[in-house]
Amino acid sequence: MLKLAEEILDKIPKVEYADVRIVDQENEDIATKDGIVEALASGHSLGYNVRVLHHEVWGFAASNDFSAKGIDATIKKAMEIANSSAKYKTTDVALDSQKSITASYKTPIKEDPFKVPLEEKIDLLLKADQAQKVSPKIVISQSTYQANKERKYFVSSNGSKIDQEIIWTGVGIEASAVSGAEFQNRSYPNSFRGQNQTQGFELVRELELEKHGGRVAKEAVDLLSADLCPSGEFDLILDGNQLALQIHESCGHAVELDRALGYEASYAGTSFLTPEKLFNFQYGSPIVNLTADATIPHGLGTFGYDDEGTKAQRTYLVKKGIFQDYITSRETSVELQKINPKYKKNSNGTVRASSWSRLPMIRMTNINLEPGGEEGTGKGWKLKDLIADTKYGIFMSTNRSWSIDDKRYNFQFGTEIGWEIKNGKLGRMLKNPTYQGITPQFWNSCDAICGRPEWTVWGTPNCGKGQPSQVMYTGHGASPARFRKVKIGVVNW
């Protein structure tokens, strides 16, 4: 396929820059509900795209027609778009410097999910489904499984030749309980399609869904009669799975440079982290260290090279509480250097497209809250010790709902379950817990983060952005953390 990509590239007329991507995608999805297989689907997609920079503007076209005639028509369309756009441009596109790269990358896995017999997968999910039937109050029992394989072949006019194979797998269960008008859910290992990582079928085996089915269902039943989460201003400990979504919404989207520059405004807004805040804005407390890291094991945002041919990197976004960087592209890094002369970096390799038919754009890789005790600030807590250190507060786990404004500034989250902390001990179960805040105030209230042993990379397989919309897979490393005096519950503030 690399050779074919080179042949397509060779056909492109002389332009300032050009690249070609061939993308071969395979996926499988299985879902069970109440003891039956509710959904079973597999798909395969193969196509290519041509991206040209001509007259300092982009031209882009894509096709699944690999005939000589089809390739010629696709190149012609990309050139026509560039020529037409040049008549109406308001700025010139410039790219940062990039060396020629010849490389291969493959997700390290132990067991190819596409080679595991379908019957075995279905049996595993049905057993996990059945394990949730612990009470007549369980009205819905569900299990889901998904596997994805993406082969990418990239060549560019600067001489780069890169092939990659990215594999990721995900699985989860969800039990729903009802009593009268009361309805409660519990999920494992996370809500919204469970846990997803760049691993093979070994992830599914490690999570032992059947083993956890009964516990999850019992918690759903217990929530029906649990006390409502109290309202007030309390200390809050967030479990890692909820903190992952907090990072995604209030940090990950906020540091996308295309949003901060106003390029990505109509779909989910811009960002409060505007360029003048770089290097001087107190985003969080001194123990808060946030990174974009496409190199860590198992992250959904882990790869070898992005879709511009830039090598995967680890970048500090926030260091000791201070806003340090965005996630960038070859184009936006140049724009940022014009706005803020202190910024001297090229792209940090975060540009990806959801398929061969979509234009690459800035996307989250793995946006992580670094573990406590590893950055020279603070202590690496254990969760049990953090609870013991809290006089009164609420511990919340597993996302149920979220809302955040277009600038990623004001937010509100709900979780599936909570527990009261009283005099350093985990007490009564609480239902319908919610909390709200303002992003920099919230992160500045963080005074304790658990250490590496309790740090997990959580997968988010459904991040939407762009028009036409693109659904991308991202990751978020997090361990439980404490936030002081957070607004909790439904209160007329």
User: What digits encode the pLDDT tens for the residues 248-296?
Assistant: 999 999 999 999 999 988 777 899 999 999 999 999 999 999 999 999 9
How high is the pLDDT of residue 491?
Answer: 53
| Residue range 189-225, pLDDT digits in tens | 999 999 999 999 999 999 999 999 999 999 999 999 9
**Cβ proximity of 182 and 224 under 8 Å:** yes
Tell me the three-class secondary structure of 147-200, residue by residue.
EEEEEEEEEECCCCEEEEEEEEEEEEEEEEEEECCEEEEEEECCCCCCEEECCC
For Cα atoms 184, 189, 370, give the angle at the middle one, nearest 5 degrees: 120
Token code pair at residue 429: 């179960």
Positive or negative, the CA dihedral 266, 45, 304, 359 is: negative
pLDDT for the residue 467: 87
Assign 3-class secondary structure to 62-102. Answer: EECCCCHHHHHHHHHHHHHHHHHHHCCCCCCCCCCCCCCCE
How far is Cα 334 from Cα 349, in angstroms, rounded to an integer? 14
Classify the C-alpha dihedral 31-34-35-36 as positive or negative: negative
Q: Which secondary-structure segment (H or E) carries 6?
A: helix 2-11
Q: What is the pLDDT of residue 374?
A: 82
Looking at the predicted structure, is the pLDDT value of residue 377 above 80? no
The DSSP code for 312 is: P
CATH superfamily of 2-225: PmbA/TldD superfamily (3.30.2290.10)
Enumerate the H helices of 313-450 as residue ranges.
330-339, 383-388, 439-444
Residue 370 tokens read as 């670094």
The CA distance from 55 to 95, in Å, is 13
- Spatial CA neighbour of 462 closest among 369, 416, 368, 399: 399
- Give residue-wise pLDDT tens across range 320-344: 999 999 999 999 999 999 999 999 9
| pLDDT, tens only, 11-21 | 999 999 999 99
Q: In which residue ranges of the chain is CATH 3.30.2290.10 found?
A: 2-225
User: pTM for this one?
Assistant: 0.96
Q: What is the pLDDT of residues 124-147, one digit of tens each?
A: 999 999 999 999 999 999 999 999
Strand partners, 475: 366, 459
Q: Determine the length of the chain.
A: 493
Rounded Cα–Cα distance for residues 29 and 42 (Å): 6
Q: How confident is the model at residue 493 (pLDDT cuts 50, 70, 90)?
A: very low
According to DSSP, the β-strands at 446-450 and 380-381 are parallel
Over residues 9-59, the pLDDT tens digits come to 999 999 999 999 999 999 999 999 999 999 999 999 999 999 999 999 999
- Give the DSSP H/E element, type plus range, for residue 219: helix 209-224
Partners of 234 in the beta sheet?
Answer: 486
- The per-residue b/e assignment along 163-197, b for 16 or more CB within 10 angstroms, e otherwise, is bbbbbbbbbbbbbbbbeeeeebbbbbbbbbbbbbb
Task: Answer whether residue 376 shows pLDDT above 90.
Answer: no
Whether the ω angle into residue 189 lies within 30 degrees of 0, i.e. cis, is yes
Rounded to whole angstroms, the Cα distance separating 9 from 189 reads 44
pLDDT in tens, 81-122: 999 999 999 999 999 999 999 999 999 999 999 999 999 999
Per residue in 380-436, pLDDT (tens digit) is 899 999 999 999 999 999 999 999 999 999 999 999 999 999 999 999 999 999 999
